[in-house]
Amino acid sequence: MSQSPRQHTIQYPDVELCVFEWGRPGGQQVLLVHATGFHARCWDQVVAKLPEDWHIYAVDMRGHGRSANTEPFTWEQFGKDLLRVCQTLDLHDAIGVGHSMGGHCVTHAAGHDAKFFKHLLLIDPVIFAPDLYQERNHQQFASVHDHPVARRRAHFSSVAEMRERFADRMPYKIWQPSVFDDYCEFGLLPATDGEGFDLACPGYVEASIYMGNFDANLYTLIPKVQVPVVVMRANPRDPDSQEMDFSASPTWPELATQFPRGQDVHLPDLTHFIAMQDTQLVADFIRAGADS
């Protein structure tokens, strides 16, 4: 897929969402959904490796990219938003692809309406073991503003400054350079005061999402997902770790067995950022989904 995407704005009563579109109607539909703190254009290098005649969408979830920073920033709300996007785009027999929180949201949509997807590719979808959703005293931080991510630097003089600041840091230094470039270029918006650029997903939004990820239990929906589901995951996190270790997988290793037609793909040489480290691998799995 070589052409630049077309940008659309979908206006709902409570939020304005941005969707990017490649290809043409009538081709194999694909819906790409990003991770927490990312945006739709992080998929550009994957899209570039997919067939020219496919019909591909990537969505900026609320609080991210070119979509509105409108609360609530809960996983349940993100799932509901994606369900509406699927309806608006009139998806049928699409390949649903989601990374991290995006995989969680794709599962939510597929569990609510079977017609949208023919195949799911869940890239480390941050769906925990069932028993963890029963816990209520799991938060390390008293409030969103106490979360370290909420204090993340949010303003840059230029895209180049953002690149320079993060290029040698984990996890960005292990990404494919072109993906990192897209992350920086499309992850900033002109500052409201007219000076420089601000992160499209502010730290308080990202922190809110991390703190709410235990509140959306999908295990009543997962048995309803009757299409083939591939779960790609890195090595699991140390269950005793108190830190947010993004080099490892937060996904329950047994997740694939919970889907009626699930397949587990363990990738020990990659991190949680599978979609940023190996775009060709992800594109190959998406292509395979068209034949499922």
At 133 the pLDDT is 79
Give the E-state strand segments of 1-52 in sequence order.
6-11, 16-23, 29-33
Give the number of other CB atoms < 10 A from CB of residue 49.
15
pLDDT above 60 for 161: yes
Ordered by where they begin, the domains of the chain are 6-146+202-290 (3.40.50.1820)
The whole-angstrom separation of Cα 220 and Cα 133 is 12
Give the number of other CB atoms < 10 A from CB of residue 41.
22
Tokens encoding 268: 């020990």
The whole-angstrom separation of Cα 233 and Cα 263 is 11
- Share above pLDDT 90 across residues of the chain, in percent, rounded to a whole number: 75
- Tens of pLDDT, residues 229-259: 999 999 997 766 555 567 789 999 999 999 9
At 29 the pLDDT is 98
Q: Please state which of the ranges 19-33, 213-227, 262-276, 278-292 shows the lowest mean pLDDT.
A: 213-227
The whole-angstrom separation of Cα 185 and Cα 49 is 20
Q: Are 39 and 187 in contact (CB under 8 A)?
A: yes
- Tens of pLDDT, residues 92-146: 999 999 999 999 999 999 999 989 999 999 999 999 999 887 765 555 555 555 5
Q: Tell which residue, 74, 73, 95, 78, has the closest CA to residue 28.
A: 95
**Helix ranges, 229-273 (H):** none
* Average predicted confidence (pLDDT) for the chain: 90
pLDDT above 90 for 213: no
